[in-house]
Amino acid sequence: MFRTFGPAVAAALEGTTLVEPDEVYAGPSTTIDLGGRFVELRAAGMAHTRGDQTVHVPDCGVVFTGDLVQERMFPIFPWFPPDDVDIDAANWVRVLARLGAEEPRIVVPGHGIQAGPEIIRMVRDYMIDLGQRVRSRRDKGEDLEAIVASLGPEVRSEHSNWSQPEWVDFAIRYFAATGAAPA
């Protein structure tokens, strides 16, 4: 799929071989020993994608979030109906709430620099706010294209220091199509 994202991405992936895992787990979590350092893998269920997972290093308070969290970047909403709709923003927000409640010392996001738990809250609050704003406009009878045309620029200007602004419209379309407004 990523090879279809343009010639530069296809060229970067040339010669790439996918390697199957040699260890898998079923259930909500598993712990692996990396030579005296224990790391917990936690399945998040469908959130940003169908199979999100976080990686926790409990003895030093570190969590690797993958694309569930990005630092100063609009969350990636892979909403490409009808082909790719494996996203659940309500669960995504629940996962972020659980991660934030644990107050990790260091959060390693999928994109951006590591920070503290404030970046988890930042992404969670953004998603809740955007979902509620889309729902409010839909409830008033505004059509999708009007919502995208007015709300998209408004949201991008409110977060002018965030990168990847193209994901805002995907998120708006997701919330409008699903009626989801995570809380």
Residues 150-171 pLDDT 10s: 999 999 999 999 999 999 999 9
| Residue at 21 is within a domain | yes
Query: What are the φ/ψ torsions at residue 29 (nearest 5 degrees)?
Result: -165, 165
Domain boundaries, position 97: 17-178
Residue 183 forms part of a structural domain: no
Q: Is residue 124 part of a domain?
A: yes
Separation CA 125–CA 180 (nearest Å) = 15
d(CA 88, CA 111): 20
**Cβ–Cβ < 8 Å for 165, 74:** yes
For residues 31 and 23, the answer to whether their CB atoms sit within 8 Å is: no
Residue 101 lies in a domain: yes
Residue 1 lies in a domain: no
Give the predicted TM-score (pTM) of the model. Answer: 0.89
Average pLDDT over residues 110-125: 96
For residue 107, the SS3 value is: strand
Residue 32 maps to which CATH number?
A: 3.60.15.10
**3 part of a folded domain:** no
Residue 59 counted as domain residue: yes
Average pLDDT over residues 45-62: 95
The span from the CA of 108 to the CA of 169, in Å, is: 26
In whole angstroms, give the CA distance from residue 118 to residue 135: 26
Q: Is residue 64 part of a domain?
A: yes
pLDDT digits (tens, 9 = 90+) for 75-110: 999 888 888 899 999 999 999 999 999 999 999 999
Angstrom distance (rounded) from CA 125 to CA 129: 6
Residues 6+ apart with CB under 8 A from 121: 96, 100
Counted domains in the chain: 1
pLDDT higher than 80, residue 58: yes
**Any idea what the Cα angle at residue 7 is, between residues 2 and 9, rounded to 5°?**
40
